[in-house]
Structure 1
Amino acid sequence: MPAATPNSDRHLDDTDPLMSIGMFSRASLVSVKALRSYHEQGLLVPDSVDPSSGYRSYRVSQLADAVIIKRLRDLDVPLRDIAEIVGARDPDVTKKVIAEHEADMRRRLDEVTRIVDELQEAIDRPSLHTPVHVRDEAATHALAFSGFVDESDYATFLDGAYAALFAAVDMSGAIPTGSGSARYPAAVDTDQEPVEAYVPIAAPIPIPSGVHDTGVVLTLIPAATCAVATHIGGYDTIGDTYRLLGAWVARHATSADLPVREHYVVSTDPDTHELLPPEQLRTEICWPIVPGSASA
């Protein structure tokens, strides 16, 4: 294959831009640690590696493969089989490889095939997303609850966090000015992430002693310019919207490498506080960008 020319490199950067490993990890929801491991195992090789720093960069087009590999690893598919599946990009090969596993893997065949088919074809489901737009978020006072959380424990953590936060709102007399929200680090660097759940309030208020004991604190959420997409549906498919939003930022703006925000605009029944059915859920994902960097 002939070497790429400078002009073709520029064209590739326009149509399939590079992403830093941190930005790529957030868009794919695959940790930096896992991405390094995938590279070492030959499963997902970065587009470029800085020879002096060892810093890895990936193309937007590699997002789907990153998610496929992570989900197959979560299903305990052996590395050699993942390499064959990703290399072949053929649903028939996927079925043949998985069928060779023991009975417990065969029971997962439908799920694995669905994941590979959807992600390899990079399906964008219009029903899941609203168009990406840019919004300035003003600084706001908030009551916050923080913790280090495994991906599988997000729901449990947030349930407990919001129970404590809304109890604190009632005890303190604070006036909420928006829905429950959370901030996640710019890069998925470890299996456990520092997560900050918060409720924006109209003004700072004295924290009653009983609230201090619950772990709730008063904080200031800084102003930010964000690229925003609304995920419509359950949290099990929110990765689709992250992938869409991360790719948009890579193509049209400069990531600010600040914590990403999720606003749970529609999440629970106001009377029962029970989680609503997936089809009713609305979650805004707000990815901070450098002000003035967004292009059409």
Structure 2
Amino acid sequence: MTVTVAIGEFARLTHLSVKTLRYYHEIELLEPVAVDAGTGYRRYSVAQVERAHLIRRLRDLDMPVPQIRTVLAATEPAAREATLRDHLTRMEAELARTRAVVSSLRALLTVAPPPLRVDYRVEPAFTALTLTATVDRADIAAWCGTAFERLYVTLLEQGITPGGVAGATYSTQFFAEATGSVTAYVPLPPGAELAPARGLDVVDFPASRFAVAVHAGAFEDFDRTYGALGGHVAEHATALPDEPVRERYLIGPDRIDNPAEYRTEVCWPITEGAPR
């Protein structure tokens, strides 16, 4: 016969508070083996202690409840390992992002930004293979990764070499509303004949005038470059607020693994004519 204990004793055995155990019962993650119909008192089997220990460790790793259910339901060690490995990979990516943000914050508080070089130029017209979607700002890195992979794979499958530096355009709504239209593009070489690809479009970009600055490094302090360039434009030129900002990825994740070596042109749309 399996020995059972009251919820308070089970809390002492597992280092899970009574409040937590009640919550896990409510969400059916760790249910007591018996509940008294009159008093509502819960009793747990000592055989459940190991399961409780596993749940506590997974929660200490901030694993979401649905993934914990997957681990608990897995009968094969390989299935458990796969779920744990996926979660740890996400944690490592989040840790790397946190470190980058901390580094950016320290620089913001202690290091004066270098003088920003701003060039004014007219970007010539070009034709590009594009993918457009409404994207939340929080999802932009993942979306761009998927979008550019699809664009490059499509060109590769059709034997077409990109005709220039890839980039993306960001609508005003993307910044103002934290969600908006984004277009990823890869320029096509002159005369390229591209077979139709579902969800992708071939777009003619007209010649446009920009104030341009280069952002060096990762994207955690991208806002500083945007702020400096936008402020410069406000003082020395006339911006086109309804036109999308363009980014050109001179050196990006598709070419190098070290974010510190990324180089991105930020192209701020301005009116025709010389800067005022």
Give the alignment partner of residue 144 of structure 1, picking from 125, 130, 133. Answer: 130
Give the alignment partner of residue 263 of structure 2, picking from 258, 270, 282. Answer: 282
Q: Where does residue 268 of structure 1 map in the other structure? A: 253
Closer, same or farther: CA 169–130 of 1 in aligned 2, 3 Å: farther
Give the alignment partner of residue 229 of structure 2, picking from 231, 245, 269. Answer: 245
| Aligned residues of 1:249 and 1:255 also touching (Cα < 8 A) | yes
Is residue 2:118 matched to residue 1:118?
no
**What does the per-residue CA deviation read over 1:103-150, in whole Å, with 9 as the maximum and x for residues that have no partner?**
xxxxx9xx89x859937x9x6411xx7501101101100000111111
Q: Which amino acid aligns with 1:283?
A: T
Give the alignment partner of residue 180 of structure 2, picking from 186, 193, 201. Answer: 193
Q: Hey, which bits of structure 1, 4+ residues long, moved more than 3 A?
A: 114-119, 204-207
Q: Which amino acid aligns with 2:272?
A: P
**What does the per-residue CA deviation read over 1:151-205, in whole Å, with 9 as the maximum and x for residues that have no partner?**
1111110011011100111123333222220000135232311100000112354
Kindly, what percent of the aligned residue pairs are identical? 33
Q: Where does residue 148 of structure 2 map in the other structure? A: 162
Q: Which amino acid aligns with 1:289?
A: I
| Aligned residues of 1:207 and 1:217 also touching (Cα < 8 A) | no
CA–CA distance in 1 between the matches of 2:227 and 2:202? 32
SS at match of 1:199: strand
SS at match of 1:168: helix
SS at match of 1:290: coil
CA–CA distance in 2 between the matches of 1:125 and 1:164? 36
Give the alignment partner of residue 203 of structure 1, picking from 185, 190, 194. Answer: 190
TM-score, normalised to structure 1, is 0.54
CA–CA distance in 2 between the matches of 1:230 and 1:159? 21
The structure whose RCO (Cα within 8 Å, separation 6+) is larger is 1
SS at match of 2:135: strand
**What does the per-residue CA deviation read over 1:217-251, in whole Å, with 9 as the maximum and x for residues that have no partner?**
11111211100000001011110000000000000
- How many residue pairs get aligned? The number is 175
CA–CA distance in 1 between the matches of 2:107 and 2:248? 30
Q: Which amino acid aligns with 1:175?
A: T
CA–CA distance in 1 between the matches of 2:222 and 2:232? 16
How far residue 293 of structure 1 moved from its aligned partner, in angstroms, is 4.2
Q: Where does residue 54 of structure 1 map in the other structure? A: none
CA–CA distance in 2 between the matches of 1:116 and 1:277? 20
| Aligned residues of 1:172 and 1:205 also touching (Cα < 8 A) | no
How far residue 207 of structure 1 moved from its aligned partner, in angstroms, is 3.4
CA–CA distance in 2 between the matches of 1:117 and 1:170? 40
TM-score, normalised to structure 2, is 0.57
Q: Where does residue 230 of structure 1 map in the other structure? A: 214
SS at match of 2:223: helix
Q: Which amino acid aligns with 1:138?
A: P
Please identify the structure whose Cα radius of gyration is greater. Answer: 2
Is residue 2:177 matched to residue 1:174?
no
SS at match of 1:235: coil
| Aligned residues of 2:245 and 2:268 also touching (Cα < 8 A) | yes
RMSD in angstroms over aligned alpha carbons? 2.7
- Listed as ranges, the gaps of 5+ residues in structure 1 are 1-107
CA–CA distance in 2 between the matches of 1:197 and 1:249? 24
How far residue 216 of structure 1 moved from its aligned partner, in angstroms, is 1.6
